[in-house]
Amino acid sequence: MSTDPNPSPGSDTPVPTCYRHPGRETYVRCTRCDRYICPECMRDAAVGHQCVECVAEGNKNVRRARTVLGGRAPESATPVVTYSLIGICVLVYLAELASWKVVEDFMMLGVAVGREGRLVGVAEGEPYRLFTSMFLHQRPSGGSFGITHILFNMWALWAIGPELERVLGRWRFVALYVLSGLGGSVLLYLVEPGSAAVGASGAIFGLFGAFFIIGRKFGGQVGPIVFLLVINLVITFAVPGISWQGHIGGLVTGALLAVAYAYAPAKQRQLIHIAAPVVTLVLFAILVMVKTADLTAGVA
């Protein structure tokens, strides 16, 4: 920090002011650009203080920390993506409670006759259902689980989402979650297009699979996730009304993406991390188009 001595009384020397706030008197200068700065514009530096512009310029040359998988470490420890996904699911659930139409219009459905007597579903020009269904859950009076459906899924997301988001980085985590959810919807569409389904379970199972693969890769404790996964697979096949296609499709998708994330060679890591989700999405699109063509063949 450099300062100017106080001018002697009666001196005609003008009092220096902050370069960003001309009305504020100051005798402190930025140690980098030597401009006068007021307390609001001061930023602590290794020696003295710097102005906000010099600090911003210096930060441009600082390399961001990377996760073990090569993703950019979040600037904040808060798992923003995980909390945002939970928030979206909760808001959508409140919309469901307000109107059944939210479920009817956005649940996963391959093809069926709607209330108005017309065909509805993915095969009838509504492919968005493959995506929107992963944010819907059973209403309190719906099916075997009711409100416990969203409670369990959100608990699972809250429990393992932050750690995966920290290890993968945000965009990889988003890709893993969304593609796992889509994987469940696509498998249901391929195997049983007349069945309806809602829930984030496909995406959650994808996180389970990814957590196991990445944990094994880096020597983490995978026993608890294996136990949780086995219990949920037993429930999936033992309890009527659960879409096993959604769970298995999400699990397989999440595990395969995690393999690409965790085992990509260091030199090709960035390329593979981008290519794997893109190839997965293209594959899903092709499968959906082929199934749609099959379902609509011969329909006028």
**Does residue 74 sit within a domain?**
no
Question: pLDDT at position 158, please?
Answer: 96
Portion of the chain with pLDDT greater than 90, in percent: 57
Question: pLDDT at position 12, please?
Answer: 61
pLDDT band at 57 (very low <50, low <70, confident <90, very high): confident
**Does residue 50 sit within a domain?**
yes
Considering the candidates 49, 137, 247, 273, report the single residue annotated as catalytic. 247
**pLDDT tens-place string over residues 22-40:** 888 888 888 888 898 888 8
Residue 247 appears among annotated catalytic residues:
yes
pLDDT band at 240 (very low <50, low <70, confident <90, very high): confident
Considering the candidates 149, 201, 243, 273, report the single residue annotated as catalytic. 201
Question: pLDDT at position 26, please?
Answer: 86
Q: Are residues 201 and 275 in the same domain?
A: yes
Whether 67 shows a pLDDT value over 80: the answer reads no
Q: Are residues 151 and 192 in the same domain?
A: yes
Question: pLDDT at position 1, please?
Answer: 43
Q: Are residues 38 and 101 in the same domain?
A: no
Tokens coding 86: 């939970």
Whether 278 shows a pLDDT value over 80: the answer reads yes
Question: pLDDT at position 23, please?
Answer: 84
Whether 133 shows a pLDDT value over 70: the answer reads yes
- Structural domain total, the chain: 2
Question: pLDDT at position 144, please?
Answer: 55
Question: pLDDT at position 66, please?
Answer: 62
**pLDDT tens-place string over residues 203-236:** 999 999 999 999 998 887 888 899 999 999 999 8
Q: Are residues 242 and 98 in the same domain?
A: yes
Regarding predicted confidence, which is higher, 46 or 49? 49
Question: pLDDT at position 107, please?
Answer: 95
* Model pTM score: 0.77
Regarding predicted confidence, which is higher, 1 or 52? 52
Q: Are residues 103 and 145 in the same domain?
A: yes
Write out the residue range of the structural domain in which residue 165 sits.
Answer: 80-295
pLDDT band at 41 (very low <50, low <70, confident <90, very high): confident
Three-class DSSP category at 17: strand
Of the residues 22, 40, 56, which one is the last residue of a structural domain?
A: 56
End-to-end CA distance of the chain: 80
**Does residue 251 sit within a domain?**
yes
Q: At 169, which CATH number?
A: 1.20.1540.10
Q: Are residues 112 and 189 in the same domain?
A: yes
Q: Are residues 147 and 277 in the same domain?
A: yes
SS (HEC) of the chain? CEECCCCCCCCCCCCCECCCCCCCECCEECCCCCCECCHHHCEECCCCEECHHHHHHHHCCCCCCECCCCCECCCCCCCHHHHHHHHHHHHHHHHHHHCCHHHHHHCEECCEECCCCCEECHHHCCCCHHHHHHHCCCCCCCCCCCCHHHHHHHHHHHHHHHHHHHHHCHHHHHHHHHHHHHHHHHHHHHHCCCCEECCCHHHHHHHHHHHHHHHHHCCCCCHHHHHHHHHHHHHHHHCCCCCHHHHHHHHHHHHHHHHHHHHCCHHHHHHHHHHHHHHHHHHHHHHHHHHHHHHCCCCC
Average pLDDT, the chain: 87
Q: What is the mean pLDDT of residues 238-265?
A: 94
**pLDDT tens-place string over residues 76-93:** 678 999 999 999 999 999
User: Which residue reads 């829930």 in tokens?
Assistant: 199
**Does residue 73 sit within a domain?**
no
Q: Are residues 97 and 145 in the same domain?
A: yes
Whether 2 shows a pLDDT value over 50: the answer reads no
pLDDT band at 145 (very low <50, low <70, confident <90, very high): low
Question: pLDDT at position 64, please?
Answer: 58
Q: Are residues 286 and 172 in the same domain?
A: yes
Portion of the chain with pLDDT greater than 70, in percent: 87
Regarding predicted confidence, which is higher, 300 or 166? 166
